[in-house]
Amino acid sequence: MLIAGVDEAGRGPLAGPVVCAAVILPDDDGLSGLDDSKKLNTASRDRLYDAIRSVSVCHAIVSIDAATIDRLNILQATLYGMTQSLAQLRFTPGLALIDGNRLPEDLPCAARAIIGGDASERCIMAASVLAKVSRDRIMQAMHEDYPQYGFAQHKGYPTPAHLQALKAYGACPEHRRSYEPVRKALAARS
């Protein structure tokens, strides 16, 4: 039976997308050093990103933009992205292992939510790496368009530098207006 791992990156940031990934790995994937993306350094994540993409049976990466996050809320946007990533796989898995405690609706297969799955299931670890690296690269590109916010450094998370930039420049189109620090920054400028 094909088993897909599913994870996301970017629920907490004030700007940019939430990125969801689904991955089906072969039984003997040969991926050395695979772990939860949060435990890996940038070089290891980048190396694994390429390796996962080359050895996976199939994979899909879905980006849900800030406007959709604002419209649905972050939980619903994440669940939607997870469903979409599974639906976009070339092969339909028999089971999806999803990091977290909630299962999306309308999945194309049976599924199990696993709290801390990105630290215990290889297929979820692989999904976490694909989601994290993809999101980081999106934020690097976003930095080119909006350098004043420092997205390349903090990836949209609410660091002191990001909060200061929000105060100084207001929100850009990539900011999540439903998040309180962004709402406060917009209100202070109106």
Residue-range definition of the domain harbouring residue 72: 3-145
Does residue 102 or residue 185 have the better pLDDT?
Answer: 102
Identify whether 162 is part of a domain. no
Residue 88, pLDDT score: 98
Dist. CA 100–CA 127, nearest whole Å? 13
Identify whether 48 is part of a domain. yes
**pTM > 0.75:** yes
The DSSP code sequence of 33-101 is T---GGGS-HHHHHHHHHHHHHH-SEEEEEEE-HHHHHHH-HHHHHHHHHHHHHHTSSS--SEEEEESS
190: pLDDT strictly greater than 80: no
Residues 6-65: tens digit of each pLDDT: 999 999 999 999 999 999 999 999 999 999 999 999 999 999 999 999 999 999 999 999
Of 158, 165, 117, give the one whose Cα is nearest residue 4.
117
Residue 165, pLDDT score: 95
Domains contained in the chain, number = 1
Identify whether 152 is part of a domain. no
User: How many other CB atoms are there within 10 angstroms of residue 87's CB atom?
Assistant: 15
Average pLDDT over residues 130-152: 98
Identify whether 188 is part of a domain. no
Distances (CA, A) of 99 to 10, 14, 30, 66, 111: 14, 22, 22, 22, 11
Identify whether 190 is part of a domain. no
Q: Any idea how long the chain is?
A: 190
Residue 142, pLDDT score: 97
Residue 85, pLDDT score: 98
Average pLDDT over residues 57-77: 98
Dist. CA 22–CA 128, nearest whole Å? 9
Residue linked to tokens 């350094």: 41
Structure tokens belonging to residue 39? 């435990």
Residue 81, pLDDT score: 98
188 pLDDT band, cuts 50/70/90, is confident
Residue 189, pLDDT score: 75
Dist. CA 161–CA 157, nearest whole Å? 10
78 pLDDT band, cuts 50/70/90, is very high
Residue 186, pLDDT score: 85
Dist. CA 56–CA 24, nearest whole Å? 6
Identify whether 153 is part of a domain. no
Average pLDDT over residues 110-125: 97
Give the SS3 label for residue 27.
Answer: coil
* CATH at 28: 3.30.420.10
Helix (H) or strand (E) holding 169: helix 160-169
Dist. CA 11–CA 157, nearest whole Å? 9
